[in-house]
Structure 1
């Protein structure tokens, strides 16, 4: 049975692979990290995405809107089978997102991902990010 340090190291590696996969701009690479029964909830999407196919579709939609997106993990906490990553995304709004046409504006958005891994795959995820901040950065909401 692996000790806690080994589990933490494994979870940290899996979470880093997920970030690297996003930053590679390859939806299939991200999807390959998901369990067959993966379920993800994203505050910016109307419905959960399920399975590797759902993850690939979600990633592809964000890449269509932000083809140069880059995530930087600013902090991470590991407990049990869960990893919480606090991140910042930088990108150019180059395509439609949430029925909002491209603005060409550079954005920086903060968020957090609550990730549950089991048997080396992403099983569950909740993505909470600053949707209002994104809307302000692309000019749809006033500065507060």
Structure 2
């Protein structure tokens, strides 16, 4: 399932208001669909990505969930950054913000998120290089 960021904002707001009266996250998510549980995780992940890590860098975000394929929620946020041409540039940028390199990926300063990145090349324009970055909650990372 791929939801564009703009399309899911109202869904997240509705979900958060629906579960606001619950006493714990486990209780609040017990009756929710897989997609609804993923949507809750996206709000925090997007806020982290845009307010700190990717702030000031031109990027696009895409939600890449697992419910459709596996039936289990897995919140993955993919960012495409045109300003970064290589993985090394992306890694240096994240390290400036306190991310630590571990096992081929990067871990956020608070240990809550893992990021993997891959340099990409636009097939239509051979000189157009960019980097895609995937944010995953560490608890969801296999």
When normalised by structure 2's length, the TM-score is 0.29
Query: Hey, which of these two has a bigger chunk of helix by percent?
Result: 2
Structure ranking higher in strand proportion: 1
